[in-house]
Amino acid sequence: MNLALADIRHRLGRFLMTCVGLGLLMGVALSMIGIYQGVVAEALALSRSLRADLWVVESGTRGPFAESSRLPGDVREMVARLPGVAAAGAITLRTAEMQAPQGVLRVQVMGYEPGRPGGPDAIASGRALGGARFEMVADARARLPVGATVLLGGDRYRVVGTTRGLVASGGDPLVFVTLRDSQELQFKLAPPAARRAQAAGTGGGGTDTVNAVIARLAPGADPAQVAETARRWKHLGALTDAEQSDLLTRSVVNRARVQLGMFTVVLLFVSAVIIALIIYTMTMDKLREIATLKLIGASDGTIVGLVLQQALLLGAAGYAAAVLIVFATRGFFPRTVALGPAEVAVMAGVIGAICVLGSLVSIRAALRIEPQQALGG
Amino acid sequence: MSGATAPLVQVEGIGRVFGAGETAVRALDGVDLSVGAGEVVGLKGPSGSGKSTLLNIIACILEPSAGRLLLGGETVWDGAWRVADLRRLRRERIGFIFQFHNLLPFLDATDNVALAMTLAGADVGTARARARDLLDYLQVGHRATAKPARLSGGEAQRVAIARALANRPRVILADEPTAALDSERARVVMDLLRQVAREQQAAILVVTHDEKIFDRFDRMVALRDGRLEAVA
């Protein structure tokens, strides 16, 4: 005869309503953990997709994500000739707003040379970029179907393929265009400005500039050693992929990560207080019943079991509701909610611990109820 | 009237003082009372006379300040508790009946009765079988699956009596068991208690204000200002 279950069955409607409310609260906490994980995953998504072993950037900078970096376009040739480098590709990266069928869309535009490192490693639909100009591969997050046309930098681009899960650290979807298109987009001056620059003798027509060169190394090559070799050119800096990933998570998204982490901790604390209060109220609602149980000889274990089992059942049902709610709605979040079995399991453990801790006050109160209270004075 | 035999409840010179110094209140003062097997004794008295205090002491949930308490001939208190596990003593030797039945609202009638037995270690199947027998004995077998909220006052009190009898206690303490019942149902409940006392040789002490059942007791005792004043 399980008293906890019997009591829950008796007040099932109230219990379920409480679970839904708790589920929403836990769902927010779970979403925050997913968003926290998502920020890190999004920050690393591009660098992982490029499968680069080495990032060659402007000397003295930590580009191209953390800081601005500019290199002459021919650096790609130099890097390709370094010992241990199997392939190298130049890339550009900039944020832009483009006119899409659904309205103005903020994106991160990545330029690369098709056939060289720098493009997406997988195409979800359509095809990869060929050599033609004004073609674009867009991430699914941009919600642009294959065949759609968009206006970017005054030119009309046609979407020829889509990727999945490639966004910038700020959450903007990535679009890939050819290096030439992106260089014009990024570095070509508007005609009046170009004329002024030419007149001043400062150039203005050249666009063969890139933000970084990424390299894939030959099997057995040591990334640190190749990076050291690249740094011997005074105008070049080099980061291994591990250093770049570290930079992305520790520097680029660090504030967002800490902010989300703090918010998650606050939410978990609030959840703990609310769970403790609900359990306390549920226990105090049964004051007379507990007094009666004590009077007719129930052991402390029976009383503790009643409170603790209800707390755990409440937590379990609330958490199940939270998981259902979050997994049903996470597609509607503007940023990735990265939740896997590990996060769900860890959060379940945290909720379990909160329920046990939250029930301690109620257990103490229940054990202090005097059996005389059953006799009504 | 059942003849009194060896007392199952024996209270000797019991006193109880609440507080200390100038604010001390003497709730009970040298109370002597005994209730024998098969006897139904009524305890009356005005509010604040010490009835509940005496009941709580006999129920082993309140420690006296002086005197001696014996249950079934065994000394339970004589300056200190002499029984290590008072909950077990209550569970196995004392049955309780309350003014408002105090049935657990989330259990049906059968499980309310069976619960007392499972707390004493009986397995659920055996406990439920005996609970149904007890409900039949008290003529509420037809309400075995009803929750307390669906029972009438009289039915709920019968279920509460069944629960009090579940572990075959020799002592039954009742706190205003008929206060929430009309005259007819109050008499039926008292007749049931008398039947139980006679058939199970239990000692029953009933705290009551209810004059309409005074004639249903083997004996009446009265408390006034903490002293046992009159025996009718």
The 3-state secondary structure of chain B, one letter per residue: CCCCCCEEEEEEEEEEEECCHHHCEEEEEEEEEEEECCCEEEEECCCCCCHHHHHHHHCCCCCCCEEEEEECCEEEECCCECCCCHHHHHHHHEEEECCCCCCCCCCCHHHHHHHHHHHCCCCHHHHHHHHHHHHHHCCCHHHCCCCHHHCCHHHHHHHHHHHHHCCCCCEEEEECCCCCCCHHHHHHHHHHHHHHHHHHCCEEEEECCCHHHHHHCCEEEEEECCEEEEEC
Whether A335 maps to a domain, the answer reads yes
A226-242 average pLDDT score: 86
A2–chain B Cβ distance below 8 A for any pair: no
Contact B177, B185 (CB under 8 A): no
Cross-chain residue pair B147–A374, CB shorter than 8 Å: no
Whether A226 maps to a domain, the answer reads no
In this predicted structure, what is the pLDDT of residue B5?
A: 55
B45-74 average pLDDT score: 90
Closest residue, chain B, to A303 (C-alpha): B119
pLDDT at residue B232 tops 70: no
Whether A269 maps to a domain, the answer reads yes
Number of domains in chain A: 2
In this predicted structure, what is the pLDDT of residue A5?
A: 94
**Do residues A27 and A84 share a domain?**
no
Show the tokens assigned to B220.
């009446």
A187-197 average pLDDT score: 64
B59-64 average pLDDT score: 91
A313–chain B Cβ distance below 8 A for any pair: no
The chain B residues in contact with chain A (CB within 8 A) are 52, 55-56, 59, 61-62, 87-88, 90-92, 96, 98-100, 102, 104-107, 111, 114-116, 118-120, 124, 127, 147, 163, 175-176
A371–chain B Cβ distance below 8 A for any pair: yes
Whether A231 maps to a domain, the answer reads no
Cross-chain residue pair B61–A10, CB shorter than 8 Å: no
Average pLDDT over chain A, rounded to whole?
Answer: 87
In this predicted structure, what is the pLDDT of residue A183?
A: 86
A288–chain B Cβ distance below 8 A for any pair: yes
pLDDT tens-digit readout, B128-172: 999 999 899 888 899 999 999 999 888 898 899 899 888 889 999
In chain B, which residues have their Cβ closer than 8 Å to the Cβ of A283?
none
pLDDT at residue B10 tops 90: yes
Alpha-carbon dihedral sign for residues A306, A307, A312, A315: positive
Cross-chain residue pair B105–A9, CB shorter than 8 Å: no
Q: Which residue has the higher pLDDT, B230 or A79?
A: A79
Cross-chain residue pair A296–B99, CB shorter than 8 Å: no
Whether A173 maps to a domain, the answer reads yes
pLDDT at residue A364 tops 90: yes
d(CA B21, CA B65) in angstroms, rounded, equals: 14
Whether omega before B7 lies within 30 degrees of 0, making that bond cis, reads no
- A8: containing domain: 3-43+255-375
**Do residues A145 and A263 share a domain?**
no
Q: In residues, how long is chain A?
A: 377
Mutation test of the interface with chain B: which of A292, A302, A367, choosing the one with the most B Cβ atoms within 10 A? A292
Domain ends where: A220, A241, A263? A220
Of the candidates A1, A295, A372, the beta carbon closest to that of B90 is on: A295
**Do residues A25 and A107 share a domain?**
no
- Strands A209-210 and A174-178 come out as unpaired
**In chain A, pLDDT over 90 holds for what percent of residues?**
41
In this predicted structure, what is the pLDDT of residue A203?
A: 57
Question: Cβ neighbours of residue A103 under 8 Å, at least 6 residues apart?
Answer: none
- The H-or-E segment that residue A226 falls in is helix A223-231
**Do residues A37 and A166 share a domain?**
no
**Do residues A334 and A186 share a domain?**
no
Of the candidates A7, A299, A372, the beta carbon closest to that of B87 is on: A299
Question: Cβ neighbours of residue A75 under 8 Å, at least 6 residues apart?
Answer: A56, A90, A210, A213, A236
Whether A234 maps to a domain, the answer reads no
In this predicted structure, what is the pLDDT of residue B157?
A: 86
**Do residues A317 and A202 share a domain?**
no
Give strand pairing partners of B221.
B43, B231
Whether A288 maps to a domain, the answer reads yes
pLDDT at residue B92 tops 60: yes
In this predicted structure, what is the pLDDT of residue A65?
A: 80
**Do residues A94 and A132 share a domain?**
yes
Q: Is the predicted ipTM greater than 0.90, yes or no?
A: no
User: What separation in angstroms does the CA of B223 have from each of B24, B33, B50?
Assistant: 19, 11, 7
**Do residues A26 and A173 share a domain?**
no
Give strand pairing partners of A236.
A58
B174-188 average pLDDT score: 83
**Do residues A211 and A70 share a domain?**
yes
**Do residues A150 and A192 share a domain?**
yes
Confidence of residue B2 (pLDDT cuts 50, 70, 90): very low
User: What domains does chain B contain, in order, with CATH numbers?
Assistant: 7-231 (3.40.50.300)
pLDDT tens-digit readout, A72-91: 888 888 888 989 899 999 99
d(CA B29, CA B57) in angstroms, rounded, equals: 13
Is residue A126 left, alpha or beta, with left meaning phi > 0 and alpha meaning psi from -120 to 50? left
d(CA B42, CA A372) in angstroms, rounded, equals: 20
Of the candidates A289, A296, A299, the beta carbon closest to that of B116 is on: A296
Whether A355 maps to a domain, the answer reads yes
**Do residues A77 and A156 share a domain?**
yes
Of A224-228, B17-21, B129-133, B179-183, give the range with the top mean pLDDT: B129-133
**Do residues A83 and A202 share a domain?**
yes
Cross-chain residue pair A3–B104, CB shorter than 8 Å: yes
Q: Collapsing DSSP states into helix, strand and coil, what is residue A1?
A: coil
Of the candidates A1, A289, A293, the beta carbon closest to that of B111 is on: A1
B182-211 average pLDDT score: 87
Cross-chain residue pair A297–B119, CB shorter than 8 Å: yes
Domain ends where: A220, A238, A268? A220
| DSSP 8-state symbol, A189 | P
In this predicted structure, what is the pLDDT of residue B4?
A: 44
In this predicted structure, what is the pLDDT of residue A376?
A: 62
In this predicted structure, what is the pLDDT of residue A195?
A: 67
Region of poorest pLDDT, from A248-262, A322-336, B9-23:
A248-262
A292–chain B Cβ distance below 8 A for any pair: yes
Closest listed residue to residue A83, CA positions, set A209, A223, A242, A197 = A223
Average pLDDT over chain B, rounded to whole?
Answer: 88
